[in-house]
Amino acid sequence: MRQQKYLLLFFAICLCTLSFGQTNQVEFGKNRVQYHDDFDDWLMYESYNFITYWYGKGRNIGQSVVLMAEQDYDGIQNILEHRMNDKIEIIVYTDITDLKQSNIGSEEAFVNTGGQTKIVGNKIFVHFDGNHNNLRRQIREGIASVYLNAMLFGANLQEIVQNAVMMNLPMWFKDGLISYVGEEWNTELDNRLRDVILHEDFEDFEDIAEKYPKLAGHALWYYIGQNYGKSTVSNLLYLTRINRSVESGFLYVLGSSYNRTLDSWMMYFRQRYKAEAKGLANIEGKNIKIKNKRKLPLTQVKISPDGKKIAYVANEIGKYKVYIQDLQTGDRDLVIKGGFRNAFQATDYNYPLLGWNPNNMELGIILEKRDVIKTVQYDLNTKKKITDFLDPQYDRIYSMDYINTGKLVLSAQVNGYSDIFTYTFSTRQTARITNDFWDDLNASFVKIHGQKGILFSSNRQNVMMERSKLDSILPINTFDLFYYSFDKKSNELVRVTNTPLANEWKATQVDSTWFTYISDASGVFNRQSGYLEDFVAYYEKTHHLNDGSKIVLHQDSTLANLDSMMIDSTTFQPIVKTRALVQNNTNYNRNILDQHTSPRSGKLVETVFADDIYKIYIRDMNPEKTLEPRTTRFHRQKLKQLESLSNEPAVEIKESNVGIQILEEAETQEPIEVADIPVEKQDTNKIDIDNYMFQSEFDEEETP
In 214-361, where do the E strands start and end? 286-288, 298-303, 309-316, 319-326, 332-338, 353-356
User: Does the pLDDT of residue 577 top 50, yes or no?
Assistant: yes
Mean pLDDT of the chain: 84
User: Does the pLDDT of residue 407 top 70, yes or no?
Assistant: yes
User: What phi and psi, each to the nearest 5 degrees, are found at residue 511?
Assistant: -155, -160
Give the C-alpha separation, 125 to 105, whole Å.
9
In which band, very low, low, confident or very high, does the pLDDT at 559 lie, cut at 50, 70 and 90? confident
Give residue 257's pLDDT: 93
Give the rounded percent of residues in the chain with a pLDDT score beyond 70.
82
Residues paired with residue 581 on neighbouring β-strands, in sequence order: 531, 662
Range from 85-89, 117-121, 364-368, 582-586 carrying the lowest mean pLDDT: 117-121
Cα angle: 317, vertex 365, 487; to 5 degrees: 130
Q: What is the DSSP code string of 551-578? A: EEEETT---TT--GGGEEEEEEEEEEEE
User: Does the pLDDT of residue 172 top 50, yes or no?
Assistant: yes
In which band, very low, low, confident or very high, does the pLDDT at 121 lie, cut at 50, 70 and 90? low
CA-based torsion, 328, 331, 335, 338: positive or negative: positive
Q: Are 209 and 217 in contact (CB under 8 A)?
A: yes
Give residue 361's pLDDT: 96
Mean predicted confidence (pLDDT) in 616-635: 94
User: Does the pLDDT of residue 111 top 50, yes or no?
Assistant: no
**Side-chain-facing half-sphere of 598: CA atoms under 13 Å:** 26
Give residue 694's pLDDT: 35
- 74, amino acid identity: D
In which band, very low, low, confident or very high, does the pLDDT at 557 lie, cut at 50, 70 and 90? confident
pLDDT digits (tens, 9 = 90+) for 452-475: 999 999 999 999 998 888 888 999
Higher-scoring residue by pLDDT: 16, 5:
5
Residues paired with residue 570 on neighbouring β-strands, in sequence order: 543
Range from 301-315, 368-382, 396-410, 634-648 carrying the lowest mean pLDDT: 634-648
User: Does the pLDDT of residue 681 top 80, yes or no?
Assistant: no
Give residue 594's pLDDT: 98
Q: Which residues, other chains included, contact 61 with Cβ-Cβ below 8 Å and sequence gap of 6+?
A: 54, 92, 94, 128, 135, 416
User: Does the pLDDT of residue 125 top 60, yes or no?
Assistant: yes
Q: Are 674 and 534 in contact (CB under 8 A)?
A: yes
Report strand pairing: 123-127 vs 88-93: parallel
In which band, very low, low, confident or very high, does the pLDDT at 245 lie, cut at 50, 70 and 90? confident
- 333, amino acid identity: D
Q: Are 385 and 377 in contact (CB under 8 A)?
A: yes
Q: What is the DSSP code string of 437-453? A: SS-EEEEEEEEETTEEE
Q: What domains sit in the chain, N to C, each tagged with a CATH number?
A: 2-277 (1.10.390), 286-295+390-691 (no CATH)
Residues paired with residue 11 on neighbouring β-strands, in sequence order: none
Q: Are 526 and 586 in contact (CB under 8 A)?
A: yes
Q: Are 546 and 568 in contact (CB under 8 A)?
A: yes
Q: Which residues, other chains included, contact 100 with Cβ-Cβ below 8 Å and sequence gap of 6+?
A: 32, 342, 345, 346, 348
Secondary structure letter of residue 588 according to DSSP = B
Report strand pairing: 440-448 vs 451-458: antiparallel
61, 688, 601, 675: which is closest to 304 by C-alpha?
A: 601
Q: Are 475 and 132 in contact (CB under 8 A)?
A: yes
User: What are the angstrom distances between the C-alpha of 42 and each of 50, 91, 471?
Assistant: 16, 10, 22
Give residue 39's pLDDT: 83
Top mean-pLDDT range of 4-13, 239-248, 364-373: 364-373
Q: Are 131 and 441 in contact (CB under 8 A)?
A: yes
Reported pTM: 0.86
Give residue 36's pLDDT: 74
Give the SS3 label for residue 20. Answer: helix
511, 571, 535: which is closest to 668 by C-alpha?
A: 535
User: Does the pLDDT of residue 185 top 90, yes or no?
Assistant: yes
Residues paired with residue 414 on neighbouring β-strands, in sequence order: 417
User: Does the pLDDT of residue 544 top 70, yes or no?
Assistant: yes
User: Does the pLDDT of residue 15 top 50, yes or no?
Assistant: no
User: Does the pLDDT of residue 107 top 80, yes or no?
Assistant: no
Q: Note if the bond before 213 is cis, omega within 30 degrees.
A: no
- 547, amino acid identity: D
Give the C-alpha separation, 411 to 636, whole Å.
33
Q: What is the DSSP code string of 642-694? A: HHHH-SS-SS-EEE-TT--EEEPPTT--S---GGGS-GGGS------GGG---
User: Does the pLDDT of residue 26 top 70, yes or no?
Assistant: no
Higher-scoring residue by pLDDT: 293, 699:
293
Q: What is the DSSP code string of 39-79? A: GG-EEEEE-SSEEEEEETT-HHHHHHHHHHHHHHHHHHHHH
Give the C-alpha separation, 475 to 469, whole Å.
11
Residues paired with residue 483 on neighbouring β-strands, in sequence order: 455, 494
Give residue 646's pLDDT: 62
Give residue 682's pLDDT: 36
Range from 58-67, 96-105, 257-266 carrying the lowest mean pLDDT: 96-105
pLDDT digits (tens, 9 = 90+) for 478-496: 999 999 999 988 899 999 9
Mean predicted confidence (pLDDT) in 503-523: 97
Give residue 228's pLDDT: 92
Give residue 64's pLDDT: 96
pLDDT digits (tens, 9 = 90+) for 35-88: 777 888 899 999 999 999 999 999 999 999 999 999 999 999 999 888 888 899
Give the rounded percent of residues in the chain with a pLDDT score beyond 90.
63
Give the C-alpha separation, 36 to 57, whole Å.
12
Nearest-Å Rg of the Cα atoms of the chain is: 28
Give residue 1's pLDDT: 45
Report strand pairing: 567-584 vs 661-663: antiparallel
